Amino acid sequence: MAVQDDFAPTVAFAAGPGPTQKLDIRFTGSGSEYFRIWIVNLLLTLVTFTLYVPFARARRIAYFQNNTLVGGDPLGFHADPWKMFRGYLLVLLLGLGYWAVSKFLPGLTWLAVVVFMVLWPALWRASLQFRLRNTSWRGVRLSFQGDLKSAYLSMLPFFLPALVFVLFLPAVREDETMAREAANGLAALVGFVMLAFFALLPWLFARMKRYQHGGYAFAQERTQLQVGAGRFYALFFKTSAVSIVAGLLVGGALVLVALLVLGGAEAMGALAGGRAGFAGAVIMVVALGLIYLLMPLVTMPYFAARFQNLLWGGTQSPKIGFESALRFRDLFRVTLVNWLLIVVTLGFYWPFAKVRTARLKLEAMSLEVEGPVDEWISRAQRSSQGVLGDAAGDFFGIDMGL
Quick: pLDDT tens for 135-148.
999 989 999 999 99
**Do 90 and 44 share a domain, yes or no?**
no
SS3 244: helix
pLDDT band at 248 (very low <50, low <70, confident <90, very high): confident
Q: Annotate 128-138 with b (16+ C-beta within 10 A) or e (fewer).
A: bbbbbbbbbbb
What pLDDT was estimated at residue 388? 36
Residue 72 falls in which region: left (phi positive, over 0), alpha (psi -120 to 50) or beta: left
* Dist. CA 398–CA 133, nearest whole Å: 11
* Dist. CA 234–CA 237, nearest whole Å: 5
- CA 245 vs. chain centroid, Å, equals 25
**Do 304 and 342 share a domain, yes or no?**
no
**Of 328 and 118, more confident:** 328
pLDDT band at 76 (very low <50, low <70, confident <90, very high): very high
- Does residue 389 have a pLDDT over 80? no
What pLDDT was estimated at residue 222? 94
pLDDT band at 102 (very low <50, low <70, confident <90, very high): confident
**Do 107 and 181 share a domain, yes or no?**
yes
Q: Tell me if 360 sits within 8 A of 330, measured CB to CB.
A: yes
pTM for the full predicted model: 0.84
At 370, the amino acid letter reads E
Terminal CA-CA length for the chain:
22
**Do 195 and 109 share a domain, yes or no?**
yes
What pLDDT was estimated at residue 277? 55
- Does residue 68 have a pLDDT over 90? yes
* Dist. CA 39–CA 45, nearest whole Å: 10
Q: Tell me if 113 sits within 8 A of 159, measured CB to CB.
A: yes
What pLDDT was estimated at residue 149? 94
Give the rounded percent of residues in the chain with a pLDDT score beyond 70: 77
Q: How high is the mean pLDDT of the chain? A: 82
Q: Which domain holds residue 288?
A: 227-313
**Do 178 and 200 share a domain, yes or no?**
yes
**Of 178 and 330, more confident:** 330
Mean pLDDT, residues 21-36 taken together: 96
- Does residue 397 have a pLDDT over 50? no
Mean pLDDT, residues 24-39 taken together: 97
For the segment 199-242, what is each residue's pLDDT rounded down to a tens digit?
999 999 999 999 999 999 998 889 999 999 999 999 999 999 99
- Does residue 14 have a pLDDT over 70? no
**Do 184 and 91 share a domain, yes or no?**
yes
**Do 204 and 302 share a domain, yes or no?**
no
Question: Residue 319: which residues within 8 A CB-CB, separation 6 or more?
Answer: 9, 13, 221, 369, 370, 371
- Does residue 307 have a pLDDT over 90? yes
Q: Domain count for the chain, please give it.
A: 3
- Among 291, 313, 335, the domain boundary falls at 313
For the segment 274-306, what is each residue's pLDDT rounded down to a tens digit?
545 555 666 667 667 777 777 788 999 999 999
* Dist. CA 393–CA 161, nearest whole Å: 37
Closest by alpha carbon to 314, among 206, 203, 204?
206
pLDDT band at 1 (very low <50, low <70, confident <90, very high): very low
**Do 174 and 276 share a domain, yes or no?**
no
What pLDDT was estimated at residue 63? 97
Closest by alpha carbon to 360, among 276, 295, 301?
301
Q: Is residue 234 part of a domain?
A: yes
**Do 209 and 239 share a domain, yes or no?**
no
For the segment 310-356, what is each residue's pLDDT rounded down to a tens digit?
999 999 999 999 999 999 999 999 999 999 999 999 999 999 999 99
- The lowest-confidence range among 66-75, 152-161, 187-196, 365-374 is 187-196
Q: Is residue 14 part of a domain?
A: no
Q: Tell me if 27 sits within 8 A of 356, measured CB to CB.
A: no
What pLDDT was estimated at residue 133? 92
* Dist. CA 118–CA 87, nearest whole Å: 17
Distances (CA, A) of 69 to 23, 72, 362: 9, 5, 10
- Does residue 272 have a pLDDT over 60? no
